[in-house]
Amino acid sequence: MRTLPRARVLMYHGVDTVPSSRDPHGLFVTPQAFRDQVDHLLESGFAPVSEEQYVAAVHGAPLPRKAVLITFDDGYLGVGEHAAPVLASYGVPSVLYVPVGLIGGRSDWLEPPHRHPLMGVDELRAVQQQGMGIASHGLDHAALPTLSDDELRRHAAETREVLGSLVGAEVRSFAFPYGTHDARSRAAVRAAGYDIAFAVHDPVDELAIERVDVNASDTLRSFRVKLARFYPAAWHAAARFPAVRRAVHELVGRADPVDDTVTVPGSR
């Protein structure tokens, strides 16, 4: 196993104004909250890095102090409309993970009332021009551990090839749908040629890197707590011990860190 870079990795989903009735999983951060969070990062001396810099760091290259990688899962249209222009205005890089079989479609893995439109090829190329890396989030958002070996190859290797030709760039990284992975799915991602892959809460190595979930319930206060070095350790402690969980919950305000332990397929 490689030594992973000392960088925070933030995981966003949508950036848009969506009523909670249409977003029960809290995937959508409002455009204003997103702008405030980016302002806070920059004012606090965080150094946003690109996917390319992060991959280089996994191979031993140095990163700036307080490095942070901003990631978006799923490729919601609002990320192109509301997040990409803000990031571009500051020259802040990021990386977007798209389910390659659903480009231009909707988030069909969610219940019908909770589905939202996803970027098409034109939108992906536009955000790429604005500084977003584009990478694979599988084929149709199926959880990789549920797939056969043949299906795993399609969801990992074929999406890398297809997406690479669609966006005209090598696809270096992968984000596991629902954050779920096992040894077999990590092996498929490695065999497909990805340098790194992102999970959420159960890190293993560079093919299952932990990320911090930023969601609709976050206030600027909870966002600040999530950026702290101790946050991942506190989150894991909270998941194991109810008393610590309550303490962390108090600390981050409305953002209950335990909500994110639900990674059952269909939950988001």
Q: In the complex, what is the shortest distance from the CB of residue 141 to Zn ion, in angstroms, rounded to a whole number?
A: 6
Query: Encoding tokens for residue 37?
Result: 């969070």
Beta-strand ranges (E) seen in the chain are 8-12, 14-15, 28-29, 47-48, 67-73, 94-98, 132-136, 173-175, 196-198, 212-213
Cross-strand partners of 97: 73, 135
Nearest residue (CB) to Zn ion, 73 versus 206:
73
In the complex, minimum distance from the CB of residue 123 to Zn ion, in angstroms, rounded to a whole number: 17
Closest to 181 (Cα-Cα) out of 194, 197, 192: 197
Non-local CB neighbours of 174 within 8 Å, separated by 6+ positions: 97, 135, 136, 137, 138, 156, 160, 189, 192, 194, 196, 197, 198
Phi and psi torsions of 71, nearest 5°: -120, 150
User: Minimum CB separation from Zn ion for residue 175, in Å?
Assistant: 7
Nearer to Zn ion, 72 or 231 (CB): 72
Give me the least distance between CB of 160 and Zn ion, in Å please.
17
Decide if residue 213 touches Zn ion (CB under 5 A). no
Dist CA 102 CA 250 (whole Å): 38
Backbone angles phi, psi at 96, to 5 degrees: -115, 130
Cβ-closest residue to Zn ion?
A: 73
Beta bridge pairs of residue 8: 68
Span 68-107, contacts to Zn ion by CB under 5 A: 73-74
Contact pattern for Zn ion over residues 55 through 74, marking x by CB under 5 A: ------------------xx
Task: Using the minimum distance from each CB to Zn ion, give the nearer residue, 57 or 118.
Answer: 118
State in angstroms the smallest separation of the CB of 17 from Zn ion: 20
Question: Which CB atom, from 74 or from 206, has the smaller least distance to Zn ion?
Answer: 74
Distance CA(259)–CA(250), nearest Å, equals 14
Which of 74/260 has CB closer to Zn ion? 74
**How many angstroms separate the CA atoms of 48 and 60, rounded?**
18
Q: Which is nearer to Zn ion, 73 or 213 (CB)?
A: 73
Query: Least distance to Zn ion from the beta carbon of 263, Å?
Result: 10
* Of 57 and 96, CB closest to Zn ion: 96
Contact 138, 155 (CB under 8 A): yes
Smallest separation (angstroms) from Zn ion to the CB of 97: 7
Residues of this chain that bind Zn ion (CB under 5 A): 73-74
